[in-house]
Each structure stands twice: as C-alpha cells, then as structure tokens.
C-alpha cells in the first residue's frame, strides 16, 4: 500500500490553458495564479497557456499590480506560452483568443506531453463570449486529449446562461432556451470532466444536460491576505461614516446602477452613509454621471494591494447586486476581511450567504429590498458586530490551501484512472 501511495504522489505534468491571466485582472485570473503557484510548490511541472497582452488593449492594464508571470517564472518546473489575442468585441479590456489558424494548442501540448490538461473558462476560448464572432473556433485541448488519451478537465467560471438571459432579455431567452441543452451537452462532452465550484450552478447546468460534471471547490480566497487586521490600511483614516463597498467590473451584468438606485432609500434611514464603488469598465461614465446626483457616493476607480485590502476591512457592509455571479471572488474577499455582505438572490449566492449570520440575500432587481437588507445591518450595531465575526468564520473552509489540496487530490485521481504511473 505504501508503494502505491508513494507512486500516486509522483509529480505530474499539468497543462493549464486559460482565457484570462495577468494583466487581465478578474476572479478567473486570480484563481489561475493560485492554482499555478500551488502546483509548482508541490513539485509538479506546469505549462501555462495564457492570453497575450498587446498594444490593442488600453495601456493602463499593463500597470495593474496583480502578481503574475514574474512571480512564478523563478520555478524551474514552470513554462508558459502567450497565445495571440484581440480585444473582446463588447469589452475592450478583455482578450479573445485568435482562431486555431493562428496557433495550435495541439502542437503546444505535443511538445509538453502533459499527464492532464486543465482548461479554465473554455467557453470564452471557444468564442461563446462573443456569440462566435471571435474565438478559437474549436474545443481547446480536446483534440490533443483524443489523440493521446490524455484526460481533459474544464473548469466552469462564468454563468453563460445567466449572461444570455441578462443581455438578451426574457423574451429572446425563452426562444433560445430549447436549444441550450443541446449546446451545453455538446460543449461539455468535449471534455472528460467538467468541474463546478458551486453546487447550485452544477445542479442548474445538469438540468441543461451538462455531461461528466461534478462539484469541486477549486475557487478559494486568500484568508491570510484578506483579513480584518487590514483596517490598518484604511484608505480614508479619519472617515467615520458607515461605508458600503462594491468591488468589481463596471459592466451592465454587475448591476452597479442598481446600487445607486438603492442609495437614496438607504440614505433616508442612515443619513451619513457612504457608498464606495471600486472598479472600472464600459459603464464608467454612466455610473459617474448617476452618482453625481447624490452626496455620499464615491467612484474610486481601480484599487490594488494594501489599499484594496484596507477597503474590504474598512467597509461596514459589502454589497453586490449582480445576478450573474458564480461563487464570486470579491464576495469571498469581503467575508475573509470580516465584512458582512448583502447579495442579490442568484445561483450560488446562497452558498456564500447564511441570512442573518454573515449577511442577507435580497430579491433580484429590487433596489428597495436591497436597501432594506443593508439598513437592517447598519441600524443594528449588535447584529453588525456579530455578522463581522461570523463573516470570516463562514469562509475559512475556502482558504486557498484547503481548496488547492482538494483540487490536487482530484487531479491525482484522474491521472491515476488514465494509467499514469
């Protein structure tokens, strides 16, 4: 038995193909970085295939301070390739892979000879984000898997069904809904395994005929980096106003404008309340214009490092009205910082919020109900104090080391089934 255990823990050769990585800063990018770093530290050889950054993108992206490739390049067991990209049609700060006529994932993988191939956000690589107007054009990694018998794993990040419904509306969604099971079934069958970080999202996509799908808690949060002690980095030290915080991309699906709609209802009960919106995106100008109607709303822009950690710890309540999230990273970072959260009811948010314990869930697209949930916390100091303590405790099970150990163990199981010795 000991020899089998020793053999099963031999270093693996792992290829990770991702649609997003630094300096394209998102929850996906952060997750990929943690996975790569963890696997390298365990002695595995990692080949990261990631989007290139070029002069077609806003140059401000290059200044983002998220630790990326430089941090992992020092590992001798790390290699990488930046595939050619162009900006996503509907969001110029995100990349879209050029088609397979410009580069070949199969040829890259033949050179590396991985034991397992992990594909992060395969839908974007394929072109789902642009309704097939852009994209690689075929299931990435799947061809190599079939040629060599190498197991392939797809990690689900973005709720594509929710995005379709949000952007196209209920009427059009009802028209295309009958074909979604066919599309999702075909897409998921391209891979040997499809991992979901949310049980609710898994159940929902299984209803849409997602195949070979299972729950694996691969998306975590850095509980050492995000913690209540970061109040020492308070960005506005002398500001005693009760503070609401949003962190995320300023895009339509994030529903940021709904926070501004909810603000006057909150301010009527909590007169000195302060709403801070951190992030950037296509709706920057619209959000800034709406915010000018009210005293007490600050559009901070992008924030990183100790400053961002300070904001999370400083906030009294973290607010996120989006209905398209999938175990959202910023929600988890707020909880790890000891900040209660108010989220819109949506698939997976019930896995982050225990109502009355670490926050509340508000009815989707209901600014008044959202405001009332926030007011309940801010107007009750004892409840807020209890929630702040319970917020951090509720997310500790998703600390990165715990999540990555489960992920690594899962990869070992998969590779062992494939005949790795």
The CATH number given to whatever domain includes residue 125 is 3.40.50.2000
Q: How far is it, in rounded angstroms, from Cα 278 to Cα 274? A: 13
Q: Please give the structure tokens belonging to residue 415.
A: 């590779």
User: What residues have CB less than 8 Å from 370, skipping those under 6 apart?
Assistant: 258, 259, 262, 319, 321, 342, 344, 362, 363
Quick: pLDDT tens for 58-94.
888 887 766 667 789 899 999 999 999 999 987 888 9
pTM of the full structure:
0.90
273 & 198 share domain: no
Low-confidence ranges of the chain (pLDDT < 70): 1-8, 65-68, 419-421
**Count of domains forming the chain:** 2
244 & 178 share domain: no
- On average, the pLDDT of the chain sits at 92
Whether 68 and 23 have beta carbons less than 8 Å apart is answered as yes
Specify the residue for token string 């992060």.
120
7 & 143 share domain: yes
32 & 177 share domain: yes
97 & 206 share domain: yes
User: What residues have CB less than 8 Å from 14, skipping those under 6 apart?
Assistant: 39, 44, 45, 46, 47, 114, 115, 116, 118, 411
pLDDT given at position 67? 63
Domain of residue 80 covers 2-220+399-417
307 & 197 share domain: no
Q: How far is it, in rounded angstroms, from Cα 305 to Cα 99? A: 35
374 & 405 share domain: no
216 & 268 share domain: no
pLDDT given at position 168? 75
270 & 159 share domain: no
173 & 254 share domain: no
Specify the residue for token string 């009527």.
268
Whether 96 and 85 have beta carbons less than 8 Å apart is answered as yes
266 & 358 share domain: yes
173 & 294 share domain: no
pLDDT given at position 421? 36
């Amino acid at each position: 038995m000991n020899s089998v255990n020793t053999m099963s823990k031999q270093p693996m050769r792992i290829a990770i193909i991702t649609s997003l990585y630094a300096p394209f800063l998102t929850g996906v990018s952060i997750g990929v970085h943690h996975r790569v770093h963890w696997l390298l530290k365990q002695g595995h050889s990692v080949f990261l295939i990631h989007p290139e950054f070029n002069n077609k993108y806003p140059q401000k992206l290059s200044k983002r301070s998220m630790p990326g490739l430089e941090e992992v390049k020092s590992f001798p067991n790390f290699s990488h390739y930046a595939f050619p990209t162009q900006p996503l049609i509907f969001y110029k700060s995100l990349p879209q892979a050029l088609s397979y006529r410009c580069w070949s994932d199969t040829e890259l993988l033949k050179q590396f000879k991985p034991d397992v191939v992990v594909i992060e956000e395969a839908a974007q690589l394929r072109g789902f984000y642009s309704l097939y107007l852009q994209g690689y054009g075929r299931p990435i990694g799947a061809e190599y898997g079939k040629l060599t018998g190498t197991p392939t794993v797809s990690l689900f990040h973005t709720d594509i069904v929710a995005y379709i419904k949000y952007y196209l509306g209920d009427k059009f969604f009802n028209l295309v809904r009958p074909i979604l099971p066919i599309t999702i079934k075909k897409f998921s069958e391209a891979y040997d395994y499809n991992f979901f970080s949310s049980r609710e999202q898994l159940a929902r996509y299984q209803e849409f005929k997602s195949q070979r799908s299972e729950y694996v808690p691969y998306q975590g949060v850095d509980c050492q980096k995000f913690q209540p002690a970061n109040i020492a980095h308070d960005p506005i030290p002398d500001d005693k106003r009760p503070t609401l915080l949003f962190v995320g991309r300023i895009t339509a699906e994030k529903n940021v404008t709904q926070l501004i709609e909810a603000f006057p209802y909150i301010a009527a009960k909590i007169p000195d309340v302060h709403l801070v919106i951190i992030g950037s995106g296509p709706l920057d100008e619209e959000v800034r214009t709406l915010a000018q109607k009210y005293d007490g709303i600050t559009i901070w822009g992008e924030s990183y490092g100790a400053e961002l950690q300070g904001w999370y710890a400083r906030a009294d309540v973290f607010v996120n009205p989006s209905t398209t999230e999938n175990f959202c990273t910023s929600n988890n970072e707020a909880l790890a910082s000891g900040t209660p959260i108010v989220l819109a009811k949506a698939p997976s948010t019930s896995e982050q919020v225990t109502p009355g314990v670490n926050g509340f869930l508000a009815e989707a697209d209901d600014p008044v109900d959202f405001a009332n949930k926030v007011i309940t916390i801010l107007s009750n100091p004892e409840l807020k104090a209890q929630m702040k303590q319970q917020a951090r405790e509720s997310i500790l099970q998703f600390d990165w080391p715990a999540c990555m150990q489960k992920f690594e163990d899962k990869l070992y199981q998969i590779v062992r089934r494939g005949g790795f010795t």
